[in-house]
DNA sequence: GCCTGGTAGCTGGTCGGACCAGCTCGGCGC
DNA sequence: GCGCCGAGCTGGTCCGACCAGCTACCAGGC
């Protein structure tokens, strides 16, 4: 009684995936209990459980012990994408130059959009972040870099584009983990941090002034200045192209 | 002992994930057989199988029936990211304007990089694609749009940035599925296709001439022209910003 | 009549055993 | 020496059992 084509659990996975994609199952809905899925799909409970583990790993559903209402359908999440991306960078499938180049593109877009769409409240959030960042300099690079990520995340959020935000956040995190070792070796970390604060202030001002092109150019120029020395000639040329594309100058 | 905070299969997942991330397990390596993992981790075979299903859904390993060598460790894949992204767009977690805006950014970057890095062989591939595209016009929009996707995929490949390529491909696919209904309603589909062919020819020429800024600007202007009418005022403004960012003009 | 306490029945988590189909390999018979 | 066949492994599936904890219901005491 073996099915050569598809494995038993795959039927359940496909069915639930389809139902969620079509909106038939919405976040907050409940799947039937494991034992009920056994009857509906005519497969063993172990197979049902394999299906639920797969759906859980995609963050589509969540099973909770002793919940009589059944597995919960979750809202669409970017978690699996983040984890997959981190695995790609961890296994060197994506290199630092690729990450930096993409970050130039994503940060530029985020800054541009934020300059147009930002609200005063979001501007205030950026101010508060910058204040905390200045205070964190004596605390070391760990706390500082978390606030650095938050600064860009706030901008991406203000930009209002889910994809720019998601890809940008993941990319920034990956860049940070890859570069952290190098940074820690650098002699004058405090100078690096102070430079970051100045760059953030410039970007903040451009966004406050609703000067999108400037905010965009600052992102590209800054990233070029930070990372150009960490990549080889060919990748540096691409980065320079990205800076010049929008009228920027390579320092 | 039943609820040790973490579920049994998670131990195996974490262990294997870690081993792959650190390079301890490389693509082509083999995991121990299910029954051996049972002994090593001291858990039941059903739990081991749940772990393997999760690792399989992340495309980190693959189990093959009756393979005495055990589950195969796979090379890093972008498959899970693609599927997660498609789910995000399917559930409307990402809207058409967001997709189009991001596509403007990604296509522009891909065109720019391709103009610098493209080889003559890749140029030839673009030519062949364009020829097939012209021939496909009488065959209807389905075949045409597949070749359209391929054209941009070839450019992204020539650009040489994994992230730009991955994100761009997924985004283009999603845009196409979301817009297809509208396109099919449009009166003169053949005129649309002929316009696409002309735009592709212009991009091709810019890439052939190694004129990155032009290739980039063409991407943004073309996408604005195609989709500006399908989004509301605020999103259209952002799209116009993206065009002007690099010296383009809004038609 | 109302409150309270126990219990039955559900949930998901885990385990162990069983069988199947198909591949590999080694030993046996020729 | 060559070829065949079965033993032993693999993953895929199913079944039954038990546990812990939550809930709802019902009986008993006040």
The bases of strand D with some atom under 7 A from any protein CB are 8-17, 19-23
CA distance B249 to B217: 9
Q: What is the pLDDT, as a whole number, of residue A114?
A: 98
Q: Write out pLDDT tens, residues B195-231.
A: 999 999 999 999 999 999 999 999 999 999 999 999 9
Which of A40, A73, A106 is the last residue before a domain boundary?
A: A73
Both B220 and B123 in one domain: the answer is yes
**Residue B112 is assigned to a structural domain of this protein:** yes
Which of A57, A73, A89 is the last residue before a domain boundary?
A: A73
Mean of the per-residue pLDDT values of chain A: 93
Q: What is the pLDDT, as a whole number, of residue B186?
A: 65
- Higher-pLDDT residue of B3, B112: B112
Question: What band does A186 get if pLDDT is binned at 50, 70 and 90?
Answer: low
Q: Which residues contact B222 (CB under 8 A, 6 or more apart)?
A: B199, B203
* B residues 76-95 closer than 8 Å to A (CB): 76, 78, 80-81, 83-85, 87-88, 90-95
How many CA atoms are closer than 13 Å to the CA of A125, on its beta-carbon side?
16
Question: What band does B13 get if pLDDT is binned at 50, 70 and 90?
Answer: very high
Nearest partner of A104 among A215, A249, A243, judged by Cα = A243
Q: Write out pLDDT tens, residues B90-107.
A: 898 899 999 999 999 999
Q: B108 — phi, psi (to 5°)?
A: -60, -45
Nearest partner of B238 among A78, A159, A166, A183, judged by Cα = A159
Q: What is the CATH number of the domain that holds B34?
A: 1.10.10.10
Question: What band does A66 get if pLDDT is binned at 50, 70 and 90?
Answer: confident
- Looking at the predicted structure, is the pLDDT value of residue A193 above 60? yes
Both A65 and A95 in one domain: the answer is no
Both B38 and B150 in one domain: the answer is no
Both B109 and B68 in one domain: the answer is no
- Looking at the predicted structure, is the pLDDT value of residue A3 above 50? no
Question: What band does B2 get if pLDDT is binned at 50, 70 and 90?
Answer: very low
**Residue A50 is assigned to a structural domain of this protein:** yes
Q: Write out pLDDT tens, residues A123-181.
A: 999 999 999 999 999 998 889 999 999 999 999 999 999 999 999 999 999 899 888 87
Nearest partner of B235 among B247, B223, B218, B219, judged by Cα = B223
How many CA atoms are closer than 13 Å to the CA of A103, on its beta-carbon side?
27
- Looking at the predicted structure, is the pLDDT value of residue B38 above 70? yes
Total structural domains within chain B? 2
**Residue B2 is assigned to a structural domain of this protein:** no
**Residue A250 is assigned to a structural domain of this protein:** no
**Residue A189 is assigned to a structural domain of this protein:** yes
DSSP string, A149-169: HHHHHHHHHHHT-HHHHHHHH
Q: For a pLDDT cut of 90, what percent of chain A falls above it?
A: 81
Nearest partner of B129 among B41, B207, B214, judged by Cα = B207
Both A16 and A126 in one domain: the answer is no
**Residue B215 is assigned to a structural domain of this protein:** yes
Look at chain A and count its residues. Answer: 251
Which of B73, B94, B129 is the last residue before a domain boundary?
A: B73
Nearest partner of A177 among A83, A78, A96, A232, judged by Cα = A96
Question: What band does A38 get if pLDDT is binned at 50, 70 and 90?
Answer: very high
Nearest partner of B143 among B90, B111, B88, B189, judged by Cα = B189
Q: Residue A51: give the domain boundaries.
A: 8-73
Q: Write out pLDDT tens, residues B119-128.
A: 999 999 999 9
Mean of the per-residue pLDDT values of chain B: 93
Please work out, in degrees rounded to the nearest 5, the angle formed at the alpha carbon of residue A98 by the alpha carbons of A245 and B248: 20
How many CA atoms are closer than 13 Å to the CA of A29, on its beta-carbon side?
12
Q: Which residues contact A139 (CB under 8 A, 6 or more apart)?
A: none
H-run or E-run covering A55: helix A45-57
Total Cβ atoms within 10 A of residue A23: 10
Both A117 and A181 in one domain: the answer is yes
Q: Write out pLDDT tens, residues B126-181.
A: 999 999 999 999 998 889 999 999 999 999 999 999 999 999 999 999 899 888 87
**Residue A43 is assigned to a structural domain of this protein:** yes
**Mean pLDDT to the nearest integer, B44-54:** 97
Q: Which residues contact B72 (CB under 8 A, 6 or more apart)?
A: B28, B29, B30, B31, B61, B62, B63, B64
Both A133 and A208 in one domain: the answer is yes
Residues of A in contact with B46 (CB under 8 A): 46, 49
Q: Which of residues 10-39 of B touch strand C (CB under 7 A)?
A: 38
CA distance B9 to B47: 5
Q: What is the pLDDT, as a whole number, of residue B189?
A: 81
Closest-CA residue in chain B for A114? B238
Q: What is the CA radius of gyration of chain B?
A: 23
Both A51 and A162 in one domain: the answer is no
Q: For a pLDDT cut of 70, what percent of chain B falls above it?
A: 96
Say which of A23, A167, A213 has its CB closest to residue B245: A213
Q: What is the CATH number of the domain that holds B113?
A: 1.20.120.530
Q: B62 — phi, psi (to 5°)?
A: -140, 130
Both A118 and A181 in one domain: the answer is yes
Both A99 and A220 in one domain: the answer is yes
**Residue A85 is assigned to a structural domain of this protein:** yes
> Which DSSP symbol is given to A3?
-
Closest-CA residue in chain B for A49? B50
Does the C-beta of A56 come within 7 A of strand C? Answer: no
Both B94 and B162 in one domain: the answer is yes
- Looking at the predicted structure, is the pLDDT value of residue A182 above 80? no
Residues of B in contact with A84 (CB under 8 A): 58, 78, 80-81, 84
Both B138 and B59 in one domain: the answer is no
Decide if A190 contacts A137 (C-beta within 8 A): yes
């Amino acid at each position: 009684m073996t099915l050569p084509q598809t494995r038993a659990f795959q039927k359940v996975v496909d069915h639930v995936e389809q139902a969620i994609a079509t909106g038939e199952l919405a976040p907050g809905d409940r799947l039937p209990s494991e034992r009920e899925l056994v009857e509906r799909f005519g497969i063993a409970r172990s197979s049902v459980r394999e299906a639920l583990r797969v759906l859980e790993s995609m963050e589509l559903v969540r099973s909770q012990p002793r919940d009589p209402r059944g597995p919960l359908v979750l809202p669409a999440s970017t978690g699996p994408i983040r984890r997959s991306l981190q695995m790609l960078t961890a296994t060197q499938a994506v290199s630092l130059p690729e990450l930096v180049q993409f970050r130039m593109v994503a940060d530029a877009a985020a800054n541009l959009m934020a300059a147009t769409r930002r609200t005063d409240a979001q501007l205030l959030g950026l101010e508060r972040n910058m204040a905390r960042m200045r205070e964190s300099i004596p605390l070391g690079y760990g706390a500082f870099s978390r606030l650095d990520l938050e600064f860009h995340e706030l901008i991406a959020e203000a930009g209002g584009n889910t994809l720019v935000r998601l890809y940008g956040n993941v990319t920034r995190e990956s860049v940070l983990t890859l570069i952290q070792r190098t940074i820690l070796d650098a002699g004058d970390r405090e100078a690096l941090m102070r430079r970051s604060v100045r760059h953030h202030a410039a970007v903040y001002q451009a966004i406050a002034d609703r000067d999108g092109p400037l905010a965009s150019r600052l992102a590209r120029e800054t990233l070029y200045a930070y990372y150009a020395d960490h990549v080889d000639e060919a990748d540096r040329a691409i980065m320079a192209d990205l800076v010049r594309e929008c009228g920027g100058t390579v320092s």
